[in-house]
Amino acid sequence: MPEARILIAQGGGPTAVINQSLVGAVLAAQRFPEVTAVYGARHGVRGIVDEDFVDLARETPQQLEAVAATPASALGSTRDKPDLAYCRAILKVLQAHGISHFLYIGGNDSSDTVRIVSDEARQAGHALRCIHVPKTIDNDLVGNDHTPGYASAARFVAQAFAGANLDNAALPGVYLGVVMGRHAGFLTAAAALGARYPDDGPHLVYLPERVFERERFLADVRATHQRLGRCVIAVSEGIHDASGEPIAAQLVQQAGGGVERDAHGNLQLSGTGALADLLCDLIKDQLKIKRVRGDTFGYLQRSFLGCVSDVDQREAREVGETALQFALRGDRDGSVAIQRCGDYAVRYELLPLEAVAGKTRVMEDVFIADSGNAVTDAFRQYLRPLLGSDMPQAHRLRGHPVAKLLG
Amino acid sequence: MPEARILIAQGGGPTAVINQSLVGAVLAAQRFPEVTAVYGARHGVRGIVDEDFVDLARETPQQLEAVAATPASALGSTRDKPDLAYCRAILKVLQAHGISHFLYIGGNDSSDTVRIVSDEARQAGHALRCIHVPKTIDNDLVGNDHTPGYASAARFVAQAFAGANLDNAALPGVYLGVVMGRHAGFLTAAAALGARYPDDGPHLVYLPERVFERERFLADVRATHQRLGRCVIAVSEGIHDASGEPIAAQLVQQAGGGVERDAHGNLQLSGTGALADLLCDLIKDQLKIKRVRGDTFGYLQRSFLGCVSDVDQREAREVGETALQFALRGDRDGSVAIQRCGDYAVRYELLPLEAVAGKTRVMEDVFIADSGNAVTDAFRQYLRPLLGSDMPQAHRLRGHPVAKLLG
C-alpha cells in the first residue's frame, strides 16, 4: 500500500462547527496505517501556495477535541478564488510535499476550487485524491439536505428572534433584524423557529427567493402593527427588487457610496448596518410609527462563542471522518453530502464535484408561504431537528386579569 | 397585623434576569400570611394609571419558574417618566386597590419614579411602602457593586467578542463591535473578558468615560493592524468628543438626519448601525485597510434567549426576595443594592431612594488603563466571577510548523 500524505485546508466564512470536520478528519486518519503525514494549510489555498503548513499529526488529541468545540476556522481561512495559474501553483506545492490526498472544507466557492484542482491534477497526471468537505451557514449547497454550520447559525438566529420578540412585547414597536444569506433564505427563515405562541414574532419574514416590494412590505408592517400593536420582522440581507438588484446595493448607491465586492465578485452585504437603517427609516417615514429599531446580526450569527447545535456538531464531525474515509478507501474525487434518511436520521454520500461546485441551492417553494412573507410548517418540520437538544424556550405569565375599580 | 396588598411592576429596558426578581418577590410573598394580594401592573407605571393589573398570586409556581428563566419583562415595560400629575394618578389607583406595598423593578429612571411616588405618598398621608428593585445591563446604579442583568449582558458581549476574535483571526482585517452603554462603559469593557491569549482581541476598547479622539483612534488601529495584521475593537455607543457631544449624534447631524430622543430626553443610540458604519468608513478611508467590518450588537445583547449567567440569575432572584422582605418587615422605603463582601460573595442592603435615584455610576478610574483604550486587570478580576459557570473557552491549534521545501 502506497503511503498517504494528507493535506487539509479550510476556506470561506467560518462556522461554529467547521473545526469539528477538521478534527474528525485528523483523528480518523490515525486509523489508517498508510498515512504518514497530516498537514494543515494556514488560511486555505493561500497557505498552500505560500507553503504555510502545520503538522496536524503532532497535535494532541486533548487539544484537538478542545479545538473541535471552538468556532471559526482553526487553520485560518481565505476568500481567495484560485484561477488556473493559482491552481497550478497549488499543484506544484502539493507535488513538492508528496501530498496524495487533499481535503478542502468550505462552501460553494471552495467546492469549485476543489473541482479545478482535481481537473488540473488529472490533466497533469498527478495522482491526487480531492475531497470537498461541506460547510456553510447559508445552507446553499445543492445535493445536500443541509450543510454543517447551518444548524448552529440557525439556532443563533432562532434564539435571537425569540429574545427580540420578548423584548418587543415588553416595549412595543417595530423591530427588524437583518440576517445573513445572499441568495438563499434558509438562515433568515430560521427566525420563524423563535416563535412559540401564535402572536409571537417574527410576524414577517422576507427572503431573497421572493421579490421585495417596498409598498407590499409597508402594507404588511402596517397591518401587523395595527393588529398586534407591535411587529417583529426578519429580513435577509439579500433581498432584491424585481430586476434582481439588491435593496442593500440600491441604498449604498443612493447614498453616493461605492459598492465593495470580494474576489468572487460578490457584493459586500455584511459588516454594515445600512439595510436595517434604511428599512427602519422607511417604516418611520411612511407609517409614522415612532418606536422602530433595527439590528443587523452581522458576524455574531456565524461566530458567537457558545451557541451551537449538538446535532450540527456531531454531523460536522462525521462529515470530516467520512471525507477521510472516502479519500483513503474511495475510488474518486467528490463532495461529501448529508442526506436525510429518517425522522431524524442522516447518511453521507459522495457527490461528483461538478454536481455541487459553483451551484447555489435556494429555498424550495414548499418551504415558503404563498404570502411570500412567512415560512411553511414544512420548513419548521425540516429545521426543528437540526437545532439540537436543549433549545431554550420562552414562557409567559398566564396573566389572570384583575377587575378595574376606577374604570 | 394589617393586610398587605402588593403591586409589582417592571420598567425600562428588559434584561435576561429581570423576571427572576419578579418571581423571587412573588414566591417570597407566599410566606407572609398578611399578604392578601400580589398584583402585577402591565407595562410599568403605564399599567398602573391604566389600571391594567394581573393577579400574580394566581400564577402557578411551575409557570412562575418557567417565566423566571425567560428574558425580558414578563409584565411588559414602559419608557414613561412620570411627572407630578402622573404620580398622583398612580397614587389614586393604588389607593383604590388598597395597595400597601409597591415594588418597581428597574434602573436609574425607575428608581427616580419610585422616589417621586414615595414622596407624594408620604405628603398625601397614604401609607405606602415603596421599594426599588435594581436591574440594568448598563451597571450604572450608584451604591451597587453591580446590578442584576449586567452580568448576563456582559457574558453575551464577552462571548460575542471571543467569537468575533476567532473569526477575525481566520479572515484577518479590522472588526469593530458597538456595544450598548450611554454613559457607563461597563458593558463595553466586558468585551475584554473574551480574550484569552495575549494576541486575542479585543485589542482596543473605547469607553464613554474617556474622550474619543478620532486621530488617536486611527493611530491605535493602525499600530495594532501593523503589529498583528488584524485588529478587533470594542466601542461603546456612548463615545463622545471633548465637548461631550456623542460621536453618534455628530454622525446623524452630518448626514442631515434628525436626532431621536426618548421621554427621558435621552438620545436614541441603539437600534441603528450608524456609529459602526461611520467608524468603519473612517478606517477604510484613512488607513486604506481593505477588509473592515462593523457590527452593532443592538438588542441582541440584552434580550438574546439562552445566554445567561447563573450567578446573575441567583442574585436577581435573591434581590427580588430581599425586596419583598424589606417591604414587609422593613421600616422605610429604599432601593435594594448588591454589595460584594467576599471573593466571591454578596449581601443585600437597602439604600435610601435619594442615594440612587437619578444618579449615574460610571466606570471607576481603577478599571480603565492609563492608555484609555483598554481595561485593567482590576476590572477583569471584578467581572470574572459575575459571568457565571461554564463560560465557553476558545482553543487554538498548537500549530507545529512544517519546513518549507520550495522557498
Residue A81 with chain B: CB contacts under 8 Å: none
Best of A6, A171, A260, A390 to disrupt the B interface by mutation (most B CBs within 10 Å)? A171
**What single-letter DSSP state applies at residue B267?**
B
CA distances from B19 to B11, B72, B73 (A): 12, 7, 6
Backbone torsion region of residue A45, taken as left when φ is above 0, otherwise alpha when ψ lies between -120 and 50, otherwise beta: alpha
pLDDT > 60? residue B255: no
Q: Is B138 part of the annotated catalytic residue set?
A: yes
What is d(CA A205, CA A207) in angstroms, rounded to the nearest whole number?
Answer: 6
* pLDDT tens for each residue of B55-67: 999 999 999 999 9
Q: Coil, strand or helix: which one is B96? A: helix
The alpha-carbon gap from B272 to the nearest alpha carbon of chain A, in Å, equals 6
Of A397, A340, A404, A403, nearest to A170 (Cα)?
Answer: A397
Q: Chain A: residue nearest B167 by CA?
A: A72
Is A396 contained in some domain?
no
pLDDT bracket for residue A182 (50, 70, 90): confident
Is B393 contained in some domain?
no
What lies within 8 Å, CB to CB, of B61 at 6+ separation is: B27
Mean pLDDT of A30-37: 97
pLDDT of residue A266: 54
Q: How far is CA A247 from the centre of its chain?
A: 21
Q: Chain B: residue nearest A162 by CA?
A: B305
Q: Which three cell numbers stand for residue A247?
A: 435593496
* pLDDT tens for each residue of B159-205: 999 999 999 999 999 999 999 998 999 999 999 999 999 999 999 99
pLDDT bracket for residue A316 (50, 70, 90): very high
Q: Chain B: residue nearest A258 by CA?
A: B281
Q: Do A294 and B305 touch (CB under 8 A)?
A: no
Is B407 contained in some domain?
no
Is B406 contained in some domain?
no
* pLDDT tens for each residue of B300-331: 999 899 999 999 999 999 999 999 999 999 99
Residues B370 and B240 in one domain: yes
Q: Which three cell numbers stand for residue B110?
A: 425607575
Which of A274, A398, A402 is closest, CB to CB, to B59?
A398
Best of A36, A43, A304 to disrupt the B interface by mutation (most B CBs within 10 Å)? A304
Residues B296 and B314 in one domain: no
Residue A307 with chain B: CB contacts under 8 Å: 306-307
Contact (CB, 8 A) for B162 and B195: yes
The alpha-carbon gap from B344 to the nearest alpha carbon of chain A, in Å, equals 24
What is d(CA A78, CA A42) in angstroms, rounded to the nearest whole number?
Answer: 9
Is B404 contained in some domain?
no
**How many domains, in total, are found in chain A?**
2
Catalytically active residues of A are 138
Is B111 contained in some domain?
yes
pLDDT of residue B252: 62
CA distances from A330 to A22, A130, A131, A341, A353 (A): 19, 11, 10, 22, 14
Mean pLDDT of A131-140: 98
CATH of the domain at B228: 3.40.50.460
Is B405 contained in some domain?
no
Q: Do A402 and B53 touch (CB under 8 A)?
A: yes
Residue A407 with chain B: CB contacts under 8 Å: 51
The alpha-carbon gap from A89 to the nearest alpha carbon of chain B, in Å, equals 11
Residues A211 and A342 in one domain: no
Residues B166 and B298 in one domain: yes
pLDDT of residue B254: 64
Residue B280 with chain A: CB contacts under 8 Å: 271-272
CATH of the domain at A338: 3.40.50.450
Q: Do A397 and B13 touch (CB under 8 A)?
A: no
Q: Do A300 and B297 touch (CB under 8 A)?
A: yes
Q: Which long-range contacts (CB under 8 A, 24 or more apart) does B214-222 make?
A: B214/B282, B217/B279, B217/B282, B218/B282, B218/B283, B218/B286, B218/B287, B220/B373, B221/B174, B221/B283, B221/B287, B221/B289, B222/B287
Residues B274 and B368 in one domain: yes
ipTM: 0.95
* pLDDT tens for each residue of A383-404: 999 999 999 999 999 999 999 9
Residues A162 and A295 in one domain: yes
Q: Do A96 and B67 touch (CB under 8 A)?
A: no
Residues A190 and A287 in one domain: yes
Q: Which three cell numbers stand for residue A369?
A: 408561504
Residue A171 with chain B: CB contacts under 8 Å: 13-14, 73, 76-79
What lies within 8 Å, CB to CB, of A172 at 6+ separation is: A229, A230, A291
Q: Do A303 and B171 touch (CB under 8 A)?
A: no
What is d(CA A321, CA A285) in angstroms, rounded to the nearest whole number?
Answer: 54
Q: Which three cell numbers stand for residue B249?
A: 449624534
Range(s) of the domain holding residue A93: 4-148+307-356
Residues A298 and A313 in one domain: no
Is A398 contained in some domain?
no
The alpha-carbon gap from A341 to the nearest alpha carbon of chain B, in Å, equals 30
Residues B262 and B316 in one domain: no
Q: Chain B: residue nearest A76 by CA?
A: B170
Q: Do A55 and B400 touch (CB under 8 A)?
A: yes
pLDDT of residue A265: 54
Residues B17 and B67 in one domain: yes
Residue B10 with chain A: CB contacts under 8 Å: 170
Residues A301 and A311 in one domain: no
Residues A155 and A298 in one domain: yes
